[in-house]
Amino acid sequence: MFVEETLSQDAFLGGQVTLLQPKNGYRAGVDPVLLAAAVPAKPGDSVLELGCGAGQALLCLGHRVTGLSLTGVELQPPYVDLARRNGDLNEQTLDIVQADLADLPLDLRQRRFDHVIANPPYYRNGAHSPAQDDGRRTALGEETPLAHWIDTASRRLAPKGYLHLIQRADRLADVLVACTNRLGSLEVLPIAPRVGRAAELILVRARKAGRADLRLHAPLILHEHSTHPGDRPDYRAEVEAILRSGAALEWPK
């Protein structure tokens, strides 16, 4: 487990969510916040996060939509402990299960969820220099193939349930192939840092037994200016509302 002096206590959603996380190693950023904002959950829904880390996405989603049943699966025991502590710190009930995606416990394999969310490792195994910190190496470097994440998600979804995941834009082909014959009604929302810049991330929505055609939306632009304006934030108003106020991310119609 993490030693207390190695942890920081960080504010998200303008201080509405507080997260204990290691000062060094893997630290959550805006990606899980955007992921949580993209989920159209309603009170009473069940949500499963694969690879929940310290619980940021679950906590942000649970803050925006009350009355959810929130379950997280995490491989690394220190982060399992942090996620449970963060649930208590934010007065949210989280069911955090320590398990490998390839070997989920029987009781979890017997459950179905209205929503599955995931922020899988961004880099293929061997595609980047591995981090020295174990937590960061596991979070960023793919040990379990992306296709297995999506297969596990599809098996855990209830009929007509939704998968939402965030991933690097250059992994789009991998995501589409993995969803074939598993999930349908795919929507892809590219995320670009600024106008005129290529998308670096994608949000993907897919539905169990969905039959609608693939939709590739216009990109979500994060920042207002075409270049960095200096030492101050310049998020667009709709992005600022997501990151600071916990607003929902509105998918294009």
Structure tokens at 114: 């209205």
Fold of 4-245: Rossmann fold (3.40.50)
pLDDT tens for residues 30-89? 999 999 999 999 999 999 999 999 999 999 999 999 999 999 999 999 999 999 999 999
Beta bridge partners of 48: 71, 116
Alpha carbon 161 to its chain centroid, in Å, reads: 16
Round to whole Å and give the CA distance between 137 and 134: 5
Query: CB neighbours (10 Å) of residue 126?
Result: 9
Pairing of strands 184-192, 113-118: unpaired
Q: What is the mean pLDDT of the chain?
A: 92
Structure tokens at 49: 């996060």
Share of the chain above pLDDT 70, in %: 93
